[in-house]
């Protein structure tokens, strides 16, 4: 597999430093994309639109996984898989905990549907992130 960050500024960073920085740089990009998406939502006046919020969550998770994999110097598809599994597992744990809270909620104030849709968005983004990194790593270089 080729380095998906080949011919970018990331490829000039020493491998040991790329391993140190792959989560911090992915987190920084996550922050930048989050700020940009919040700004766009504010400009178009859609802060309370749940569909846009689910799309935003999908984009954030996808960005985090692909940037983390791109910054790591080797085994990029495995990095994407592991980070994706961690994201998806976190979403499933949140869903499970909210389901347990719903069962013990006597006044019906907990709505599990948004958490379910959010979890599905995270799982879909994790899956797409992994397959995107895998596909990018398998592309043959053009001569």
pLDDT of residue 54: 86
Identify the burial level of 9 via C-beta atoms within 10 angstroms of its C-beta, where 0-12 means exposed, 13-18 middle and 19 or more buried: exposed
Q: How far apart are CA 143 and CA 137, in angstroms?
A: 16
Q: What is the pTM of this model?
A: 0.80
What's residue 143's pLDDT? 39
**Spans in the chain with pLDDT lower than 70:** 1, 103, 105-110, 139-143
Q: What tens digit of pLDDT does each residue of 85-101 get?
A: 998 998 888 888 887 77
| CA dist., res. 123 & res. 71, Å (int) | 22
């Amino acid at each position: 597999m080729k380095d998906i960050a080949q011919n970018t500024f990331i490829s000039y960073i020493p491998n040991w430093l790329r391993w140190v920085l792959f989560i911090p740089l992915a987190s920084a990009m996550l922050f930048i994309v989050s700020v940009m998406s919040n700004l766009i939502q504010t400009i178009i006046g859609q802060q309370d639109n749940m569909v846009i919020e689910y799309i935003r969550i999908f984009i954030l998770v996808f960005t985090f996984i692909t940037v983390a994999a791109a910054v790591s110097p080797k085994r990029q598809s495995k990095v994407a898989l592991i980070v994706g599994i961690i994201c998806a597992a976190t979403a499933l744990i949140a869903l499970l905990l909210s389901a347990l809270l719903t069962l013990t909620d006597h006044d019906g104030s907990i709505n599990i549907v948004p958490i379910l849709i959010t979890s599905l968005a995270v799982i879909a983004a994790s899956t797409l992130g992994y397959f995107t990194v895998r596909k990018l790593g398998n592309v043959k270089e053009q001569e």
